[in-house]
Amino acid sequence: MSVLDAIILGIVEGITEFLPISSTGHLMLTSEVLGLHATEYLKTFEISIQLGAIAAVLFLYGRTLIKHRDVCMRTLVAFIPTGIIGLTLYSFIKNTLLEHTMVVVYALFIGGVGLIIFELWYSRFGKKNITDIAHMSFRHAFLIGIFQSCALIPGVSRSAATIIGGLLLGISREAIVEFSFLLALPTMVAATGVELIHHGSAFTLEEAHLLLIGMVVSFGVAIVAIRWLLRFIRTHSFIVFGIYRLLIAILFWATLT
């Protein structure tokens, strides 16, 4: 991996982490395009680089978390399902799912179809009973966490899963998108922590440097992406992202098969 590769992956991560299109899936596909082999370091890089984008959430929402401890508690409760399932299936996810790019392609396609169908249904029958994440119950938080755990499959998209789950529970689009940002904090910190504990000590100085570059780039790009998404959702649904998922899945399916 070169410095340019790290920068490109950082840009991809920053753009895709909070959009309903799967950052892990896009990192895997981008690595395929760049000709990077699925080494232990690359898989750890693709997981750990997300910490840069998560730092952007802390930068933008740190004061909210400090002022509203109840929001922190709901975020931690929502993390529980993913934490348990992710730790239990760690070896399978790392050594099987992250090894196969076609898993991403199929997940992107199925998720794209599902996102479009859901948005068409939601536009007619969706309800918005909760407009502030401070008014969410712990039950709501836990159920959203169960939805998030579906994103342990690369290509599903953590943000898409949590947002759809929240909308189904009657939470407004703006509120669930913000909660999705906050839920990324414990989720990605835990995922990165596990990776670095297992493999961080084996990094060379150059590999650690490349990971740091990727994180810094993803941090800056993610700040822009978060602010853009918050403006976008005020007047748009996620159908456009569903269409994008279908197109990118079809493109890579045609290329890889």
Instruction: Dump pLDDT digits (tens) for 79-138.
Output: 999 889 988 887 888 778 877 888 899 999 999 999 999 999 998 887 888 888 888 889
Q: Largest Cα–Cα distance of the chain, in whole Å? A: 55
Determine whether 26 is exposed, middle or buried from the number of CB atoms within 10 Å of its CB (0-12, 13-18, 19+): buried
Q: Look at phi and psi of residue 124 and say left if phi exceeds 0, alpha if psi is from -120 to 50, else beta.
A: alpha
- Domain ranges in the chain? 3-256
The mean pLDDT value for 176-183 works out to 89
In the three-class reduction of DSSP (H, G, I as helix; E, B as strand; rest coil), residue 171 is classed as strand
Total Cβ atoms within 10 A of residue 132 = 12
Are the CB atoms for 155 and 111 separated by under 8 Å? yes
Q: How many residues does the chain have?
A: 257
pLDDT in tens, 36-63: 887 778 888 888 888 888 889 888 887 7
- Count Cβ atoms below 10 Å from residue 126 Cβ, excluding itself: 15
Q: How many whole angstroms separate alpha carbon 152 and alpha carbon 97?
A: 9
Q: What average pLDDT does the structure give for the chain?
A: 88
Q: In whole angstroms, give the CA distance from residue 133 to residue 64.
A: 11
**What global pTM score does this model have?**
0.85
